[in-house]
Chain A
Amino acid sequence: AAAPAFILKHPRAVNVDLQTDATLQVDISDALSERDKVKFTVHTKSTLPNFKQSEFSVVRQHEEFIWLHDSFVENEDYAGYIIPPAPPRPDFDASREKLQKLGEGEGSMTKEEFTKMKQELEAEYLAIFKKTVAMHEVFLCRVAAHPVLRKDLNFHVFLEYNQDLSVRGKNKKEKLEDFFKNVVKSADGVLVAGVKDVDDFFEHEKTFLLEYHNRVKDASAKSDRMIRSHKSTHTTALLRILLHHYAYYCTTTVKVEQLLMTDVSSHLLQKIEARVAADEDLKLADLLKYYLRESQAAKDLLYRRGRALVDYENANKALDKARAKNRDVLQAETSQQLCCHKFEKISESAKQELIDFKTRRVAAFRKNLVELAELELKHAKGNLQLLQSCLSVLKGDT
């Protein structure tokens, strides 16, 4: 079986709390997955005069999202903002491999088994697809919601230009990934080894973010592992087989309809079991993954501020030196003023960004934890009913 092509129409809403604004609304209205490419249809509705039309769509691929993200990171003017984290690369490799293996093994299993496995794997593929669409959509929505980034020219080009942006992403992306790996390594160094910040707010944020980021990383990895275990613990499948076995080999009085009922119940129990794991994935694992990326983006902001502070301090020293030698004083003064201005600008916007980050974080956790609890309760109550129904059938069968 060749890797399937999937089309997704109007995917479900994102799991991060975002404000919607009539002046600029962005969403991914549908997506197509074929072979090794995913094509997202980015749909925009806007009352802003910058655009030629009030509603329009373009097709974009993952590399173009990365290009946009990187252009924000490289832009000095945005040094004082938390850059919305780039969406992760769509990764269907594992899923595709499984589907391929299934196709190869088609001859060795019954038609029933094959169909069942195919359905399961396709559902898995679809779930991954939905997630990647959601992640790309969240990124765009965050940009659209940001008072400054939404005005960015590259963003408008991304939204409106209906040709391929010709971003031969690979080399560039690889270079940037390397660059960022080094940045992260030294960023923590700058943040940790640096002098204690005069500003209490930033000192607190530095300490907080370093620890928080590490703990979110840990929690994210462990939630993934737990949910994977959950997905491979097939209690209800066993129950179903046992009920079949009982019906076939053990009933002396054959009450077919009643036994059919237990089969229906156990089938529904299986569905709930799958949903429980899927919901934990959506509400917990995805939430943690997202805040792992967001907290990294916040750390990056602190790093940029830290670097600007270092530049400022160095400029001060250079000015003192120039004054002492009475040479190139004007140059040194200009440079020092620029550094000072840059540092203060970053500090000002960074403060607001970090406060907003906290607000968003708290809101997102609240939303997801409440939804998680409500879903767990809903599923447990569903299970209760089905179990009780099975029990009454069995107890009534004499």
Chain B
Amino acid sequence: AQETQLFSLVPAVRNPQKSSDLPVSSSSTSLPMFRNKTFSVRRRFSDFLGLYEKMSVKSSLHGCVIPPPPEKSVMGMTKVKVGKDDPSSAEFLERRRAALERYLQRVVCHPLLLQDPDVREFLEKEELPRAVNTQALSGAGFLKMINKASDAVNKMTIKMNESDTWFEDKLQEVESEEQQLRKLHAVVDSLVNHRKELCGNTAVFAKSMAMLGNSEDNTALSRALSQLAEVEDKMEQLHQEQAASDFFIFAELLADYIRLLGAVRGCFDQRMRAWQRWQEAQSTLQKKREAEAKLLWANKPDKLQQAKEEITEWEAKVTQYERDFDRIGVTVRKEVLRFEEEKAKDFKGQIVKYLESMLQSQQRLIKFWEAFLPEAKAIA
């Protein structure tokens, strides 16, 4: 079993002059590759993007589902007004911090990524050189990047004919799930907004009940009405916490997985590109052989020698690319299965968390009303 590392990120003090510095603290119980058991470094937001950049171009990681970093823009997926759009608001900071933390946790949960030297450097090294080339990510955003690449793949004229339908079927499943998640995300957004409205209306109602209680001239009833106003105030608090739950437990989960499914699509695209590269190499090899045949007839010994060398070169490439394609196919299959297990765990975990928060809510609600009931019965 893989030793899981614990990470906690603590938000830095706000500094509007430069982009926020985040301390990244890691603790590991037994992984031998890290020098210390606990260590802490400071990283910029762009460093996180840079880490993704580095991983996404490594051929050794081709076919892997590399977790996408959080969006730079505040709104990203959501139409929910979480706090203000102001980057200095506490809600925005917490949201970003939590997103970056989830990102890192996904990275270190991946067996291959954990071994990666860039990942280790990110976690351990005192000072990191400033990340460059993160424009595509921070500007257009992760999904736009993925979709652009996907379009390029689809435009290529040579189409694959697969005897094994697993890849086709799985890609369709991924696309359909992504669509469903988008719909769900819209539902959660709408729920959060309604609940915030409910919060406001409950607070206002509580005040009006307090006022009514004040003007009621029967003492016991007046008391009961004031108590009711207090109960409603407490309900408002419950609604607030529930709204935060809705958001942090579900909305963020759905947003994360919409992007993760994009990353999975990216793997399938990588496999397609590997196949295309192999096919193109085969057709190039074919052309070289035809050229050689022509040269044999023309009897040009120098050029013939060169042609033979090129053929050897391209035969090697064809073999290499075929092996790459097979390898990436194996990787993608493994990765998808691993990803699905993670996803099932994540979703279950979050649903359980939400149910537990609902449960706690109901328990507190019971306490409020149990305290109120005798007051109501005391009215005379």
Contacts and interface: CB of A to CB of B under 8 A. Distances in A.
Interface in A207-236: 208, 211-212, 215-216, 218-219, 222-223, 225-226, 228-230, 232-235
Interface in A186-221: 204, 208, 211-212, 215-216, 218-219
B128 interface: no
Interface string B359-380: 1001101100110110011011
A362 B379 contact: yes
A388 B215 contact: no
B379 A391 contact: no
A374 interface: yes
A251 interface: yes
B352 A394 contact: yes
Nearest to B350: A242
A109 interface: no
A397 B365 CA distance: 29
B204 A233 contact: no
Q: What does DSSP make chain A's interface, helix, strand, loop or mixed? A: helix
B205 to A, nearest CB: 4
A230 B232 CA distance: 13
Contacts of A241: 184, 187
Nearest to A221: B208
Contacts of B341: 252
B313 interface: no
Contacts of B224: 365-366, 369
A223 B177 CA distance: 40
A88 B220 CA distance: 31
A153 interface: no
Given A365-B221, A369-B379, A215 B372 contact: no
Interface string B181-195: 100100110010011
A212 B222 CA distance: 12
Contacts of A238: 184, 187-188, 191, 246, 250
A361 to B, nearest CB: 8
A243 B221 contact: no
Contacts of A235: 191, 195, 242, 246, 358
A138 to B, nearest CB: 20
Nearest to B207: A222
A366 B220 CA distance: 10
B330 interface: no
B46 interface: no
Interface in B305-343: 340-341, 343
Nearest to A242: B351
Nearest to B177: A249
Nearest to A229: B198
Nearest to B368: A376
Nearest to A220: B208
Nearest to A388: B359
Most B CB within 10 A of own CB, among A251, A365, A383, A388: A365
A229 B197 contact: yes
A146 to B, nearest CB: 22
A219 B208 contact: yes
B29 interface: no
Given A222-B204, A384-B362, A366 B379 contact: yes
A218 B211 contact: yes
A241 B246 CA distance: 14
Give the interface size bracket for B toward A.
35 or more
Contacts of B347: 242, 245-246, 250
Interface string B211-222: 110111110110
A288 B184 CA distance: 38
A208 B222 CA distance: 13
Contact of A222 (B180, B205, B215, B372): B205
B201 A219 contact: no
B172 to A, nearest CB: 12
B373 A373 contact: yes
B250 A215 contact: no
A157 interface: no
A233 B180 contact: no
B132 interface: no
A387 interface: yes
A390 interface: yes
Given A229-B194, A383-B362, A362 B221 contact: yes
A365 B223 CA distance: 12
A128 interface: no
B365 A376 contact: yes
A239 interface: yes
Contact of A216 (B212, B242, B370): B212
A394 B188 contact: no
Nearest to B378: A366
A370 interface: yes
A394 B347 CA distance: 11
B380 A222 contact: no
Most A CB within 10 A of own CB, among B204, B212, B366: B212
A381 interface: yes
Interface in A330-375: 358, 361-362, 365-366, 369-370, 372-374
A261 interface: no
Contacts of A397: 348
A223 B217 CA distance: 21
A226 B209 contact: no
B228 interface: yes
A7 interface: no
B10 to A, nearest CB: 31
Contacts of A111: none
B185 to A, nearest CB: 11
A395 interface: yes
B3 interface: no
B354 interface: yes
B141 to A, nearest CB: 24
A252 B344 contact: yes
Interface in A240-287: 241-243, 245-246, 249-252
A268 to B, nearest CB: 14
A188 B100 CA distance: 63
A274 B154 CA distance: 48
A250 B348 contact: yes
Contact of B202 (A226, A366, A374, A377): A226
Interface of A: 204, 208, 211-212, 215-216, 218-219, 222-223, 225-226, 228-230, 232-235, 237-239, 241-243, 245-246, 249-252, 358, 361-362, 365-366, 369-370, 372-374, 376-377, 380-381, 383-384, 387-388, 390-391, 394-395, 397
Kindly list the 10 A-B residue pairs having the minimum CB-CB distance in the complex, ordered from nearest.
A229-B198, A366-B379, A369-B376, A226-B201, A219-B208, A222-B205, A250-B344, A373-B373, A226-B205, A233-B194
18 contacts: A204-B217, A212-B216, A215-B211, A222-B208, A232-B194, A235-B242, A241-B184, A245-B347, A250-B348, A362-B221, A366-B377, A370-B373, A370-B376, A373-B372, A376-B369, A383-B362, A391-B359, A394-B352
